[in-house]
A and B are shown apart, each in its own frame.
Chain A
Amino acid sequence: MLALTPVEAEALRLSLRVAFWSVAGSLPFAVLVALLLARIDFPGKSLLDAVVHLPLVLPPVVIGYVLLIFLGRHGPLGEMLENVFGIVVAFRWTGAAIAAAIMAFPLMVRAIRLSIEGIDRGLEAAAGTLGAGHVWIFFTVTLPLAMPGVITGVLLSFARSLGEFGATITFVSNIPGETQTLPLAIYTFTQVPGGDAQALRLSVIAVLLSIAALIVSEIIARRAIWRVRGHDIKY
């Protein structure tokens, strides 16, 4: 009853793998974009902000379709990747990771940006007067102070990647073992006659996983806040 069937275990393993790489791959970009949006004013800033938030408001199918057009085997980027680097993302878990990364990107950027905006710039200025360069300040002052936001962003986007469905199924199809993540497996079981029990089991697993991710996110974020500020966020 509690043991997972091979199909379920495979879907779970694939989901975790895709979500992990989606977060790991997009983290550096998210930090960069968040820094840009939080600190620098430039022409076109609102446009960048809007583009970053597009995956939050566009139907996921649209994102998946756009990915298919550009990164499919005959798409401009896809052909280049295949001919130059030998990388194919169509119908592979790497494609699923890219789809999940794009869908979760706005969440990560928002959380990190909020955190960076809340940093006391006087601390950075003080570090500057003591002789630190910009990059050094970023890694030793800004980033550690922004850590609660970064952690929240990472875990939020991890949970979002776990649940990504529309973009994944449109872009990389529903291939067991390769792209059939947890949500796709649940969907498949709802279509198979007599598969409702398995769909329910997987749904329970998905819910537990998401709750666990969110609780861990909350705990780690509060501990990070404690370390950074010496006190809890309440006051």
Chain B
Amino acid sequence: MPFKRIFPAHRRQSTNLFVRCAFLALFLGVAPVAACAQDLIVFAAASLKDALDQNVVSFERDTGNKAAVSYAASSALAKQIENGAPADLFISADTDWMDYLAERKLINSVTRVNLLKNQLVLIAPAKNTIQVKIATNFPLAELLGGGRLAMADPRYVPAGKYGRAALQTLGVWDSVKNRIAPAENVRAALALVSRGEAPLGIVYRTDALADARVRIVGEFPPNTYPPIIYQAALTARSVHPEAANLLAFLSSAEGRAIFRKYGFQN
């Protein structure tokens, strides 16, 4: 092997020293990272983005513990947990996906709580000034014109499922079911309307409040869709000592106040 050619004797000492120093620096660099405790990992429904971010900041300020939050559709998160993702806390936008994990014994059922409520609204880009009275057989298809109705995918994302249920109850689902732009999660649907790509969209009230470039043009009567209940639970495999504290914080007066500020109800 060309070791002797690459490292001739007169160079070997300095090279040796260099290599040793490099390894030392590497270990010194890596050691602090390895010594740090793992951050809490939270998997949360996409619609919780702004409110939960602020809650996590308050939690860190109060207790000194950090949490990393992954936001996505509750369906995507549940599937990831099923496949072994290392989440400590799961917050779902509907009970179906929490049940899905409970059936597979992937959550700590004792810790399961109802956390928040929300409402469904119809939105349009901010410069559109229409008002829509949402009632049975309201002319949604005509209002769409040539465009598509942006909503979270009605097959599996909670926001989409609630939306489809509402449209079915109102008798307009068949007229628009081929005119949907299914989005990966409710925030993606919000972005489509915000950007003007879709003339109308169905999102949670809290999402509409979070984006100044959309306005609420109609509210779905609560009796047209199942109650929107966000549930939270610790995962079965979580061993992080602070996970239970975070859940307690979110349910506490301070946590609830922050959620209420963003438009959620308790």
Contacts from A to B (Cβ < 8 Å): 68, 72-74, 90-91, 169, 173-175, 188, 190-193
Contact A191 to B76, CB < 8 A, known contacts A174-B184, A175-B180? yes
Whether A90 pairs with B197 at a CB distance below 8 angstroms is yes
| Interchain CB contact under 8 A, B195 and A72 | yes
Residue in contact with A191 in the complex, picked from B156, B181, B197, CB distance below 8 Å: B156
Q: In chain B between 28 and 78, which residues have their CB closer than 8 angstroms to a CB of chain A?
A: 73, 75-76
Known interface pairs A74-B197, A191-B73, A192-B155; A175-B100 also in contact (CB < 8 Å): no
| Chain B interface bracket (under 10, 10 to 19, 20 to 34, 35 or more) | 10 to 19
Is B79 in the interface zone, CB < 8 Å from A?
yes
B181 nearest in chain A by CB position? A173
Q: Within 8 Å CB of B79, what residues of A?
A: 190-191
| Residues of chain B at the chain A interface (Cβ within 8 Å) | 73, 75-76, 79, 100, 148, 153, 155-157, 180-184, 192, 195-197
Partner of A188 from the list B153, B196, B197 (CB cut-off 8 Å) is B153
A10 to chain B, nearest CB (A): 13
Closest residue of chain A to B73 (Cβ to Cβ) is: A191
B76 CB contacts on chain A under 8 angstroms = 191
24 A-B pairs in the complex with CB atoms less than 8 angstroms apart:
A68-B197, A72-B196, A73-B196, A73-B197, A74-B196, A90-B197, A91-B148, A91-B181, A91-B197, A173-B181, A173-B182, A174-B153, A174-B182, A174-B183, A175-B148, A175-B180, A175-B182, A188-B153, A188-B155, A191-B73, A191-B76, A191-B153, A191-B155, A191-B157
Q: A68-B195, A193-B156 are in contact. List 13 more A-B contacts (CB 8 A).
A: A72-B196, A73-B197, A74-B197, A90-B197, A91-B148, A169-B184, A173-B183, A174-B182, A188-B153, A191-B73, A191-B75, A191-B153, A192-B156
A68 to chain B: which residues have CB within 8 Å? 195, 197
Q: Name the B residues within 8 Å of A192 (CB-CB).
A: 75, 155-156
Q: How far is the CB of A181 from chain B (nearest CB, A)?
A: 14
The residue on B at minimum CB distance from A192 is B156
Counting from the closest, the 6 A-B pairs by CB-CB distance are A74-B196, A191-B156, A173-B181, A191-B75, A192-B156, A72-B197
